[in-house]
Chain A
Amino acid sequence: QVQLQESGPGLVKPSETLSLTCTVSGGSISSYYWSWIRQPAGKGLEWIGRIYTSGSTNYNPSLKSRVTMSVDTSKNQFSLKLSSVTAADTAVYYCARGAGHCSGGSCFDYWGQGTLVTVSS
């Protein structure tokens, strides 16, 4: 059974960089698309972007200037960096796997439990 686990600081200061890592267990990270999705408290879901195991990426244009994703296949991990954060970036951040049976791996069949990141001084 594939499992995903987010890790990283739960508190980030304004203007600094949010960094999260997602560790995949129970299966290989290879040959899948891996996404980050966030959800502010009491609100809906926002797709941040995704990375393929080759390293190719697609980012949400609304965040593109601040987002960097990377993948480390040797560790079965992928990561998110979001720079110049503000209070508006406070949210639960999820990592998720792109389902092989969805076109382009663009729906999500496995999710991490989510990690709350608060932006505050």
Chain B
Amino acid sequence: AIRMTQSPSSFSASTGDRVTITCRASQGISSYLAWYQQKPGKAPKLLIYAASTLQGGVPSRFSGSGSGTDFTLTISCLQSEDFATYYCQQYYSYPLTFGGGTKVEIK
């Protein structure tokens, strides 16, 4: 199985900050990567697919980049509603696998 490693596992930030989350795959996955946001007690929400394509309805302050093994999710100007846990997921091969998550907390 392809292992997805996210860093950091958690960090604190302030509203208005630019934040970047990293996801690394244990082998090349081309651009078959999705990002999700999960808030406590809620299901994950798809933000980005194909590494950089924004899902419909997702604010443009979210962006994704990368291909191969290294990927990033960037939030250009953190809003209060963005404090959540973020997961990457590869869909290059089965089994589909997720990263361990990055929790973005309020500083």
Contacts and interface: CB of A to CB of B under 8 A. Distances in A.
Given A101-B49, A114-B43, A109 B95 contact: no
B32 interface: yes
B98 A102 contact: no
Given A47-B96, A107-B49, A109-B55, A102 B101 contact: no
A85 interface: no
Main secondary structure of the interface of A (DSSP, over half): loop
Interface in B34-66: 34, 36, 42-46, 49-50, 53, 55
Given A106-B91, A108-B46, A109-B46, A44 B101 contact: yes
Interface string A73-115: 0000000000000000000001010010111101111011110
A30 B94 CA distance: 22
Max chain A C-beta neighbours (<10 A), residue from B1, B43, B49, B87: B43
A96 to B, nearest CB: 8
Contacts of A104: 91
Given A35-B96, A106-B91, A107-B89, 5 more contacts: A44-B99, A58-B95, A62-B1, A102-B34, A109-B55
Contacts of B34: 102, 107-108
B44 A103 contact: no
A103 B50 CA distance: 9
A47 B46 contact: no
A61 interface: yes
B91 A103 contact: yes
Contacts of A11: none
